[in-house]
Structure 1
Amino acid sequence: MPTSAPDILLEVKGLSAGYGKIGVLHNVALSIATGEAVALLGPNGAGKTTLLKAISGLIGRGGEVRFAGRDMAGAGPREAVAAGLAHVVEGHRVFTQLSVFDNLLLAGYGMAKTERRRQVDEALAFFPEIAEKRHDRAGSLSGGQQQMLAVAQGLVRRPRLLMLDEPSAGLSPVLVDRVLAATRRLRQDGTAILLVEQLIEKALATVDRVYALARGTIVLEARADEPKLPERLERAYFGQDAHAPLEA
């Protein structure tokens, strides 16, 4: 799915970021269209989590980030969420002592009461397994169910873009499939997706396009259905395949 200017929801140009004096990302550029699903792939330590944190304002960054036509310079997580950008961090972090329902109410903090309840119900509708446990403590859920809850938290504000960092981490294959199936349903409902995932085959079955990140830079861009893409990704990770632009 090529992105044209009117369709671009997220546009990143010349982004650099790191931690203190340690640079992690260098001159990163990517774009995501409205309603598009994109995977960000790469080896461990490539900078994938850092890139998501930089986009959502969790860490400082250089370069340009534009979301829904708005310059996000200086914007932190609160402003990103208000603009319609939700970031589900790695590790299905939920409030384990609170109920499923209360976790979701907290995700909608600041919304009008009636709207917040409606959005919580809509978020739960994507995950029947945890909807049945809405009054149970989040800590009593399985790892996969906690991951579903973390994704549902990101949906309460009806984001235009949902960024998911390793949603399959620590899950059984069955639960991975359930979480990714929910991601596909979200995309069909109009939510754009930026997915960081180590399970390449499952990621490619979920998204339209792929960016590969290695050594803090984008080393490949391609359609998810491109022939022999896994082999090209492996070569790109190790510097044996030049950056390949998306073909029309």
Structure 2
Amino acid sequence: MPTSAPNSNVETLLKVSGLSAGYGKIGVLNGIDLTVGAGEIVALLGPNGAGKSTLLKAISGLLPRTGTITFGGQDMSKAGPREAVNAGLVHVVEGHRVFTQLSVHDNVMLAGYGMKGSELETRVEEALRFFPEIAEKRNDRAVTLSGGQQQMLAVAQGLVRRPRLLMLDEPSAGLSPVLVDRVLAAAAQLRDAGTAVLLVEQLIEKALKLADRVYALARGSIVLEARTSEDDLPNRLEHAYFGQDVSAPLAS
């Protein structure tokens, strides 16, 4: 299936071609082609077990993979997590991975390990401004935060690096509707500030409302790609998940 590119006036930031990955001898992904444009939000949707989280891990270097990954014009096919982060590709993994016994401030500081003190403090304050709810609790231990606030903290940790592309894996998992909207609103703010977002999300309606383009993943392969402005997209996604015909032409 040909990969739909970002709008013609948008620079392609991430290009994945023929990517395959898995866990040991267990193959999960089969020849994935995907692009993300600079300052674009792309949603990656699909049923449980489709390989969405595996794809993000493969892109960020957390899993061995074959195929080609180009980021910002640089070949990242063999890059590990550290090289990815240094290039501006940051992956916020699923599940509120924060240090619960450290303060909110120290959690964000730790994410910027290796930066100079004055620069790091500037980055910490910049990241916390996206989430006033946790900025007010900067001296509280992370264990005292709600699940939604811990998710905000996890995203803030990723923002310290000023990523060119932020990959978010199920940021709404386990959150109340109000907190889901707050976390996803931060993704929209990031786009407005020029940061691209690759979003794995189960809440299809909210993801389609937020994103510019969407890929559907099922059984380890891309089964649909489209712009979110296209007609009848939710129905086409449902058909794609269950392996039915999705051959209707997509927007160029």
Aligned residues of 1:56 and 1:85 also touching (Cα < 8 A): yes
Corresponding residue number in structure 1 for 2:223: 219
Question: What is the aligned partner in structure 2 of residue 81 from structure 1?
Answer: 85
How much has 1:244 moved relative to structure 2?
Answer: 6.0
Query: Which of residues 23, 35, 45 is equivalent to 1:31?
Result: 35
TM-score (norm: length of structure 1): 0.97
* 1:100 aligned partner: 104
- In structure 2, the CA distance between the partners of 1:45 and 1:245, relative to structure 1 (3 Å rule), is farther
**Superposition map of 1:88-127 within 5 A:** 88-127=92-131
Match of 1:19 in 2: 23
Aligned to 1:130: 134
Between the two proteins, the alignment pairs up a number of residues equal to 248
The SS at the match of 2:19 is strand
In structure 2, C-alpha distance between the alignment counterparts of 1:6 and 1:183, rounded to whole Å? 18
For 1:128, give the aligned amino acid: P
Name the structure 1 match of 2:178.
Answer: 174
Is 2:7 the partner of 1:41? no
Distance (whole Å) between structure 1 residues aligned to residue 183 and residue 18 of structure 2: 32
Matched, 1:62 2:63: no
User: Contact 1:218–1:243 at 8 Å: present in 2 too?
Assistant: no
Matches within 5 A, 1:220-239: 220-239=224-243
Secondary structure of residue in 1 paired with 2:210 = coil
CA apart distance, 1:40:
0.1
Runs of 4+, deviation exceeding 4 Å: 3-6, 243-246
The code of the aligned residue for 2:210 comes to T
Say if 2:189 is the partner of 1:157: no
Question: % of aligned pairs identical?
Answer: 74
Instruction: Mark the CA change 1:39 to 1:243 in structure 2 (over 3 Å): closer, same or farther.
Output: farther
Contact 2:6 2:12 survives alignment (8 Å): no
**What do residues 202-228 of structure 1 show as CA deviations (whole Å, max 9, x unaligned)?**
001111000000000000000112121
Quote how far apart the aligned CAs of 1:237 are. Answer: 0.7
Coordinate RMSD, CA, aligned: 1.4
User: Where in structure 2 are there 5+ consecutive unaligned residues?
Assistant: none
Distance 2:247 2:55 in 1: 18
Conserved? CA contact 2:18–2:33, under 8 Å: yes
Moved more, 24-33 or 67-76: 67-76
Deviations 1:119-169 (A, max 9, x none): 000000000000000000001000000000000000001000000000000
Q: State the one-letter code of the partner of 2:182.
A: R
Can you give the 5+ residue segments of structure 1 that lack an aligned partner in the other structure? none
Residue 101 of structure 1 and its aligned partner are, at CA, apart by 0.3
Q: Residues of 1 paired with 2:248 and 2:36: CA distance?
A: 17
Match for 2:202: what amino acid? Q
Preserved contact between residue 197 and residue 203 of structure 1 (Cα < 8 Å)? yes
Partner of 1:72: 76
Q: Which residue of 2 aligns with 1:192?
A: 196
Return the offset for 1:182. Answer: 1.0
Contact 2:90 2:158 in 1 (8 A): yes
